[in-house]
Chain A
């Protein structure tokens, strides 16, 4: 595998379910991100991890819970979601600032989430 991979690619869940999204990067990066992409809205940054520590949480509801066990893996745990949470969830990775990077991010293909 190369680049950034995400599983599953599609997920349908009820409002009472618990599920997790998985992201893995094979680029040797040390920063990872979760974004939410909804129709007709800008990309919304949800969480940022740098060197496995959370550095930003953009006021995301607690029904979304991230986990970053190491620099290559990122999870998004979901529980008691609402229909408005239906969207494409994108994972990305980059080098962090200390590496002198220009911070370009590399994206996975996304998970299309539908909440029924």
Chain B
């Protein structure tokens, strides 16, 4: 079985400050990992993904994430946030030769002017 834990339900951060959104996963086999963003009244949009190879993955809108196998983590980071980054962010995992993707409960990022 696979699972995802997003440790923070809400993260307030001032504009132009750095941010890290935490994600830990559980799986007995190799994984694919994803971060999605959801803006109000919209569907989920893929920010970035890890499949194989380099553990530091860069995505859209200046976000990046680092896959850490020993800590089973895939934290999302951005060095300087903008007001437009205010949204909900979902971590997700797919593993075990099965196309089902398991999503975390989401982290609401609130960027304060």
Chain A residues in 8 Å Cβ range of B7: none
Contact A110 B43 (CB under 8 A): yes
Of the candidate stretches A11-19, A60-68, A74-82, A101-109, the one touching chain B is A101-109
Which of the residues A43, A56, A94, A110 comes within 8 Å of B42, measured between beta carbons? A110
Contact B100 A107 (CB under 8 A): no
Contact A97 B45 (CB under 8 A): no
Of the candidate stretches B18-26, B61-69, B74-82, B101-109, the one touching chain A is B101-109
Q: How large is the interface on B (under 10, 10 to 19, 20 to 34, 35 or more residues)?
A: 20 to 34
Q: How far does the Cβ of B92 sit from chain A's closest Cβ, in whole Å?
A: 8
Q: A43-B90, A90-B43, A107-B43 are in contact. Are A102 and B51 (CB under 8 A)?
A: yes
* Distance in angstroms between the alpha carbons of A102 and B44 in the assembled complex: 17
Which of the residues B94, B100, B104 comes within 8 Å of A42, measured between beta carbons? B104
Chain A residues in 8 Å Cβ range of B90: 43
Q: How far does the Cβ of B89 sit from chain A's closest Cβ, in whole Å?
A: 13
Does A71 have its Cβ within 8 Å of any Cβ on chain B?
no
User: A31-52 toward B: CB 8 Å interface, digit per residue (1/0)?
Assistant: 1000000001111010010100
Does B113 have its Cβ within 8 Å of any Cβ on chain A?
no
Chain B residues in 8 Å Cβ range of A42: 103-106
* Distance in angstroms between the alpha carbons of A100 and B94 in the assembled complex: 13
Contact B49 A107 (CB under 8 A): no
Contact A102 B41 (CB under 8 A): no
Contact A109 B41 (CB under 8 A): yes
Which of the residues A31, A41, A110 comes within 8 Å of B99, measured between beta carbons? A31
Q: How far does the Cβ of A104 sit from chain B's closest Cβ, in whole Å?
A: 5
Closest residue on chain B to residue A58 by CB atoms? B100
User: A76-96 toward B: CB 8 Å interface, digit per residue (1/0)?
Assistant: 000000000000001010101
The 3 closest A-B pairs by CB, nearest first: A107-B43, A43-B103, A107-B44
List residues of chain A with CB under 8 Å of any chain B CB: 4, 6, 31, 40-43, 45, 48, 50, 56, 90, 92, 94, 96-97, 101-110, 112
